[in-house]
Amino acid sequence: MAPARDTNVEVESVASTEISTKLPPSAQYPLWKLVLSAIPWIGIQALWSTEFAVTTPYMKDLGMSDAMSSIIWVFGPIAGFFTAPIIGSFSDRCQSRIGRRRPYIMAGLVLLWVASLVFASSKYILPQPYSKWLAFAMFLVLDVVVNVIQTPIRAIVSDMASQDQQLHGQIISVVFQGVGALLGFGIMKLWDVPYEAIFQVILVILSVVTVFVLIQVCICKEEVYVSPPDAPRQSILAPFVAAFRAIFQMPVDLAKIAFVQCFTWYAIFGVNTTVSTWFSVNVYGGSADAPEGSPMKVSYDEGQNANSIAGLLQSGLQILFSLILIAVLLKSSVPIRHIYAVCLYIGTVALVLAKFAVGHSVNTAILMITILAIPVSATNAFPFALVGAMNKSAQEAGRTVDTGMQMGVLNVFICTPQFIATLVVGALRNRLSQEQALPWVFFMGGVSFAIAGTGAWFVNDRLVSQSIKEQN
C-alpha cells in the first residue's frame, strides 16, 4: 500500500480522482425518513442469516464433500473485494433520473431473485452430480449480487443523513440488522429442517427483502447527479481504476478505520463460520457423522438448536445495545473512539473465555456468543458513521465526495480478513482434530479483537463527537 496521506479528513475526500461528484449539501432529514432509508437492512441481514445457516448442509445434501462445502465460503470475500468498490464507484457517477444508488439497488434485486431461486432449485434443474455445481455457481453469483445491493444501500443512508445524523443513521442500520437476524432465524424456525425446505425459505426471505427495498426506493428521493460540463470524458475503465486507486491512496484517517475493520472482521467471520459446529462438537460432544438416533447424533442436533438460541439472543441484544448506544452517545461526553475500543475489547473477553472457560457448559457458551452482539453492533455502526461524517463535511465545503466508493473501500477491509480467516480455519482443521481446532479459532479471534480495539483508540472521531456535542 502506498504511504497514507495526512488529510485532516474533514477537508478532503478519500480518493482524489479526475471525476468530480458534486452534489448540493444535504439538509437535515426528518427522523422517520432517515429510519426508512435504512430499513432494507432488515431484509439483507435476514438473507445473510439464512445463507450462513442453510448453505453448508444444503451443499452437503447435494453431494458436496465436507472440505469443499467449507472452502466455498472463501469466494464470498473475493466477490466482495472486487464488487463493492467498483459498484460504489459506478454509483457515485450514475446520472440516472431516479438517482445514483437506486438503479443499482433495483437491478441487484432482480438478479437476486434469479440467482437465489436457481440456487434453491438446483436439484430439480439438473441431476446429481451436476446439481451441486449449478448450486455452487449460483452461490458465487449470490455473493456478487448481495454486494451489488448492499453497497449502494449503505451509501444511500449516508447520502440522506446530514453530518449531524451520520452516527444515528448507521446505528439505526445496526438496529435493523438485529431485527433482520431475528426475522431470519424466526423464518427458519417455521421448518424443522430449514435446508430441506430451502426453496420455501428462500422465497419468503426474498419477499421480505423486496418489501423493504421498495420502501426505501419509494421514500428516498435522491438528488440527480449531473456531470459538470467541463469534466473530461472518461473511459469505461475509469471507475475501476478510481476504485482501486482509492484503496492504495487512502488518507491517514481512513487507513486507521480500515486497520480496525480488518482485525475486527477476521474475528467475526472466523466465529460466524464455525460457531454452529463448535456448539455441536465442542459444547455438546456430538458428531454429524454419527448414525441417526444415536446419542452423539442427538447431541449434535441439540448443539444446532443451542446455536439457534444463541443467535436469537445475540440479535435481541444487538437491537437493545444499539438503542442504549444512542442514549449513551447523546447523554455522555465520552469520545466515540473510546466506546468503540471498549466494545471490541468485550469481544476479546468473550472469545478468550469461549476457549478456556466454556467446556461443556451450554449456558456459558450461549452467554459468550450472545455477548458478541456488542462488538458486532459497534463494528456495523462506527466505521461507516465516521466515513459518512468525513464526506458530509467535505460536501458542505464544496469539495469532491465519493461516498459509494469509500463504502466499497471499507468493504474491501471486511472481505480481505474473511478470506484470510477461511484459510486459517481450514489449515487448523487440517492439522488438528475438529474438537481441538475450533477453540483455537475462537482464541485467535479474541486476539484479533484486542488488536482492533487498540487501533480504535487512535481513529479520528472529531467530526462525529463534535456533532453530538452540538446536539447536546
CA-to-CA separations, 330 to 37, 168, 176, 322, in angstroms, rounded: 21, 10, 20, 13
User: How much is the CA Rg of the chain, to the nearest whole Å?
Assistant: 22
Long-range contacts, 233-238 (Cβ 8 Å, 24+) = 234/18, 234/19, 238/17, 238/18, 238/19
pLDDT, one tens digit for every residue, the chain (472 residues): 333 333 333 333 333 333 334 444 444 567 777 777 888 889 998 998 888 778 877 887 788 876 677 678 777 777 777 777 777 777 777 777 777 788 888 888 999 999 999 999 998 998 888 888 999 999 988 888 887 888 788 777 777 766 566 666 777 877 888 888 888 888 888 887 777 888 999 999 999 999 999 988 888 776 766 666 655 565 555 555 665 666 666 678 778 888 999 999 999 988 887 888 899 889 998 887 788 888 888 888 888 888 888 888 988 898 888 888 777 776 767 788 898 999 999 999 999 999 999 988 999 999 999 999 999 988 877 777 776 666 555 555 555 555 556 666 677 788 888 888 888 887 887 788 878 888 999 999 999 999 999 999 988 877 555 554 555 5
**CA–CA dist 146, 41 (Å, integer):** 12
Cell digits of residue 424: 486459517
Look up residue 309 and give its three cell numbers.
Answer: 438460541
- 279 CA to centre of own chain: 23
Q: Are 90 and 239 in contact (CB under 8 A)?
A: yes
Helix (H, G, I), strand (E, B) or coil at 456: helix
Task: Read off the amino acid at residue 119.
Answer: F
Q: What is the pLDDT of residues 135-190, one digit of tens each?
A: 999 998 888 888 788 878 877 777 776 656 666 677 787 788 888 888 888 888 88
Say whether pTM exceeds 0.75: no
Please state at what angle helix 130-160 crosses helix 373-396, rounded to 10 degrees.
50
Contact (CB, 8 A) for 467 and 389: yes
The percent of residues above 70 in pLDDT, for the chain, comes to 77
Q: Which of 160, 175, 178, 82 is nearest to 388 (CA)?
A: 160
Q: Tell me the pLDDT tens digit for each residue of 55-104.
A: 877 887 788 876 677 678 777 777 777 777 777 777 777 777 777 788 88
Domain ranges of the chain: 31-223+237-471
Q: Bridge partners of 5?
A: 251
Q: Which CATH number describes the domain made up of 31-223+237-471?
A: 1.20.1250.20
Cβ neighbours, 10 Å, residue 61? 17
What is the C-alpha separation between 327 and 172, in angstroms, rounded?
12
- Rounded to the nearest 10°, the torsion over CA 346, 374, 267, 404 is -140
Residue from 286, 290, 318, 317 nearest 304 by CA: 286
